[in-house]
């Protein structure tokens, strides 16, 4: 057909992975061209299609992959390997080199996924699913098993005792009520800072004894076909001082005249009262923890999640309730990464010795 050779030429340019990769590096500052830019039949795909497929990688994943993709390209250049058509032995050599730099299983797994985004061997196997590489990764797991950040976790009751002192609500500054509400939401919902940051009063439903936020947008656990997650803030009848429902109601009342057109739940407690960042929320959590007496050199803001679910588990709450609330897929994630023994505020033995009569 007339002009078919020109169209084929255009498709070939789009199919050339090195050209696509350079374009993406130029546009975005890091490598993130997936294997789909070149299929086994050498048939190219359009740039628009490639962009849509690339959108399947979230920004955080793209940033994580970029470091390993750069290292892969540098390794290939130094060893004379093909970046896009390496042998399995080439890939194994790269992963082995990473082990010698001190990386563990989790980092190696990320590197494997990053390379898989660049290479497709056939219709059945990517780098990540190749049997030999899968066996290699099992060996890495045995040699350098993944380690969770914490071997134990702080006592939630210590922080709750501090939050009780932030009362009555009418006497609190906007800063104090902001901190109290944030920590209560983190503890009673077991959500990440990312999710709390997405709470929006436009998607808030109030009932007689609760506030229900519907999360609009993708969070870490979001999957295609999955219903939108909700964060439910229920009244705690046992102790009004710890009722996240009452604190939320007061916070919304206080901020209603300050937020103007701002719809994010959490706004700055100083002018111009704009939506705060995720890093600010994390800093607020650490400030509450430190004031309550938690060692923030050992525990970061994300530790509220482990502290919360560990406390819930200690009350014999059904595991399926914990998994559903926290948004995990399986009990394994909870058991390995989040269910931690609680660090006691004092040693019962030491207390007995120090309080004994001489």
Structure tokens at 101: 């730099």
Separation between Cα atoms, residue 2 and residue 261, nearest integer Å: 57
- Model pLDDT, residue 328: 47
Q: Which of 209, 179, 182, 153 is nearest to 337 (CA)?
A: 153
Sign of the alpha-carbon dihedral angle for 258, 263, 265, 271: negative
3-state secondary structure at position 154: strand
Structure tokens at 148: 């969770």
- Model pLDDT, residue 282: 97
**For residues 205 and 131, is the Cβ–Cβ distance under 8 A?**
no
Q: Which of 149, 104, 117 is nearest to 336 (CA)?
A: 149
Separation between Cα atoms, residue 65 and residue 109, nearest integer Å: 11
- Model pLDDT, residue 218: 54
Q: What is the mean pLDDT of each run of 10 residues along the chain (358 residues)?
A: 39 36 43 42 54 63 80 91 87 94 89 82 70 92 79 86 95 97 92 92 94 76 59 89 95 95 96 95 97 94 86 69 56 48 45 38
Cα dist from 33 to 75, 127, 162, whole Å: 18, 15, 49
- Model pLDDT, residue 139: 93
3-state secondary structure at position 294: coil
3-state secondary structure at position 37: helix
- Model pLDDT, residue 161: 92
Structure tokens at 44: 């190219």
Question: Cβ contacts of residue 187 below 8 Å, gap of 6+?
Answer: 156, 159, 160, 304, 307, 308, 311
């Amino acid at each position: 057909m007339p002009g078919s050779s020109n169209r084929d030429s255009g498709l070939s340019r789009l199919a050339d992975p090195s050209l696509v990769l350079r374009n993406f590096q130029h546009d975005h500052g890091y490598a993130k061209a997936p294997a789909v830019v070149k299929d086994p039949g050498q048939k190219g795909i359009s740039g628009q299609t490639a962009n849509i497929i690339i959108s399947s990688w979230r920004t955080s994943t793209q940033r994580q992959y970029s470091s390993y993709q750069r290292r892969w390209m540098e390794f290939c250049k130094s060893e004379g390997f093909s970046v896009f058509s390496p042998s399995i032995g080439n890939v194994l050599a790269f992963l082995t080199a990473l082990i010698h730099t001190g990386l563990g299983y989790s980092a190696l797994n990320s590197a494997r996924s990053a390379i898989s985004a660049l290479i497709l061997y056939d219709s059945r196997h990517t780098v990540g699913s190749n049997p030999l590489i899968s066996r290699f990764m099992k060996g890495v797991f045995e040699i350098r098993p993944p380690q969770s950040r914490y071997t134990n976790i702080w006592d939630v009751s210590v922080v709750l005792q501090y939050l009780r002192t932030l009362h009555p609500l009418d006497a609190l500054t906007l800063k104090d009520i902001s901190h109290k509400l944030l920590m209560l939401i983190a503890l009673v919902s077991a959500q990440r800072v990312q999710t709390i940051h997405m709470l929006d009063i436009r998607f808030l439903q109030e009932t007689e004894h609760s506030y229900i936020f519907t999360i609009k947008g993708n969070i870490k656990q979001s999957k295609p076909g999955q219903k939108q997650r909700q964060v439910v803030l229920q009244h705690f009848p046992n102790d009004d001082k710890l009722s996240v429902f009452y604190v939320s109601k007061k916070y919304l009342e206080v901020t209603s005249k300050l937020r103007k057109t701002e719809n994010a739940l959490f706004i700055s407690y100083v002018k111009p009262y704009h939506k705060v960042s995720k890093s600010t929320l994390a800093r607020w959590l650490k400030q509450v923890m430190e004031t309550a007496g938690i060692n923030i050199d050992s525990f970061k803001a994300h530790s509220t999640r482990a502290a919360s679910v560990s406390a819930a588990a200690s009350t014999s709450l059904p595991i399926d309730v914990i998994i559903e609330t926290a948004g995990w897929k399986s009990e394994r994630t909870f058991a390995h990464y989040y269910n931690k023994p609680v660090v006691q505020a004092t040693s019962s033995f030491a207390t007995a010795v120090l309080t004994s009569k001489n």
